[in-house]
Amino acid sequence: MSGSWGNSLKISIFGESHGPAIGITMSGLPSGLALDMDWVNREMQRRAPGQNRLSTPRKEADVPRILSGLFEGRTTGTPLCAVIENQSTRSSDYEELKDLMRPGHGDYPGTIRYQGFQDPRGGGHFSGRITAPLVFAGAVCKQILAEKGIQVGAHIQSIGRIKDRSFTLEPTLGELEALAQAELPLLDPDRGPAMAQAILDAKADCDSLGGTIECVILGVGPGVGEPFFDSVESVLSHLLFSIPAVKGVEFGAGFESAALVGSQCNDLYYYEGNQVKTRTNRCGGVTGGITNGMPILFRVAVRPTASIAKPQETIALSGGTRTLSITGRHDPCIVPRAVPVVEAAAAIGILELLKEREACRT
């Protein structure tokens, strides 16, 4: 169903890139959470456009205005709605976009799905901008999770062909916090200049780059998730594949596990004091759809930005083919700004799963 997700935590997203505002409503939140709006706004800034030379020059303050569900700084427990006004909209030239279908974009599928009535300005509801409300919702969820000792963090695993190293078996909270504050969140910051250069090269070449993001969730503990149909992998992937440009999701060893033998792939249990741990984490913290208490670990593949200035052949709905060179303000590589979006999806999904578990126990 368009725009709505979740069972015990419900989120309902709305908005178009050049419409009056975008936003999200969250239902099923606990009462009494003291929302740290400064921190929420910092999370928003991690995704906000126009921050540096690697992202789109479109500038948006992206400060959410909370319309409901918050009273004297605390969540009431009633639906919390936040809206973000669209400010930097330049919509002079969208007539062409109703006719020329940009390759790799939602233009053509969207035109069929919405029978030509979708808002074409700035990508409309397909714009990556619609992930801003997701980051807001993720920030709220992260604060709830933090009180339960759960932390979400992610780094750029690769941009183009340049790779960061991977998370260790048990990343620390400090590592995650450092990542959240970095311009390019990398475990090995030395890879940063090469990545930045690769992005600038692609941009200079009127082209774009993709990459992968690795995300970890610490502190969830064992016993969260369901075998059918709400496995941890199912719930997280459902959200992750809603993020524009995500084309692959894998947990633990993921696709690599397909080439291992069982004795390599099984994570062996042992006791560390009273705590059950595994000596490897090839399952990404999830077996049988349920957490085993190790860090939940997954990676997503982000395709290169579809909007490129390089001339491409495409169809005109009015008939015939044309050569299209996409102008406008686009990110040459969306991966850095997608990192907080991936974290937000993870936070939302985990809170939903925790809520479901409490419901099941009742």
220 φ, ψ (degrees, to nearest 5): -75, -30
Told to check if 276 binds a copy of itself by CB under 8 A, we report yes
Told to check if 169 binds a copy of itself by CB under 8 A, we report no
Told to check if 361 binds a copy of itself by CB under 8 A, we report yes
Stretch that binds a copy of itself, among 48-56, 135-143, 181-189, 352-360 (CB under 8 A): 352-360
Taking the complex as a whole, the smallest distance from the CB of residue 156 to a copy of itself amounts, in Å, to 11
Query: Rg of the Cα trace of the chain?
Result: 21
Interface with a copy of itself in residues 113-152 (CB under 8 A): 113-119, 124-126, 130
Identify which of residues 71 and 172 has a Cβ nearer to a copy of itself in the complex: 71
Binds a copy of itself (CB under 8 A): choice among 112, 190, 204, 273: 112
Taking the complex as a whole, the smallest distance from the CB of residue 174 to a copy of itself amounts, in Å, to 27
Told to check if 20 binds a copy of itself by CB under 8 A, we report yes
Write down how long the chain is. Answer: 362
The footprint of a copy of itself on this chain (CB under 8 A) covers a number of residues equal to: 157
Told to check if 71 binds a copy of itself by CB under 8 A, we report yes
Q: Which two tokens stand for residue 31?
A: 């009462």
Contact 65, 83 (CB under 8 A): yes
Stretch that binds a copy of itself, among 42-50, 55-63, 79-87, 180-188 (CB under 8 A): 79-87
Told to check if 266 binds a copy of itself by CB under 8 A, we report yes
Told to check if 88 binds a copy of itself by CB under 8 A, we report no
Taking the complex as a whole, the smallest distance from the CB of residue 45 to a copy of itself amounts, in Å, to 22
Interface with a copy of itself in residues 178-197 (CB under 8 A): none
Report residue 347 CA to chain centroid gap: 10
Identify which of residues 79 and 178 has a Cβ nearer to a copy of itself in the complex: 79
Told to check if 289 binds a copy of itself by CB under 8 A, we report yes
DSSP structural state of residue 264: H
Contact 245, 300 (CB under 8 A): no
Q: Which of 319, 138, 350 is nearest to 223 (CA)?
A: 350
The residue type found at 257 is S
Interface with a copy of itself in residues 212-251 (CB under 8 A): 212, 222-231, 233-235, 237-239, 241-242, 244, 246-251
Stretch that binds a copy of itself, among 41-49, 52-60, 68-76, 176-184 (CB under 8 A): 68-76
Taking the complex as a whole, the smallest distance from the CB of residue 112 to a copy of itself amounts, in Å, to 3
Q: What is the sign of the dihedral through the CA atoms of 74, 78, 79 and 85?
A: negative
Taking the complex as a whole, the smallest distance from the CB of residue 206 to a copy of itself amounts, in Å, to 8
Residue whose pair of structure tokens reads 């860090």 in the numeric block: 295
The residue type found at 11 is I
Distances from the Cα of 24 to the Cα of 10, 32, 302, 320, angstroms: 10, 20, 24, 40
For every residue of 293-326, DSSP letters joined together read SSPEEEEEEEPPPS--SS-EEEEBTTSSEEEE--
Identify which of residues 116 and 172 has a Cβ nearer to a copy of itself in the complex: 116
Q: Which of 302, 244, 339, 306 is nearest to 51 (CA)?
A: 339
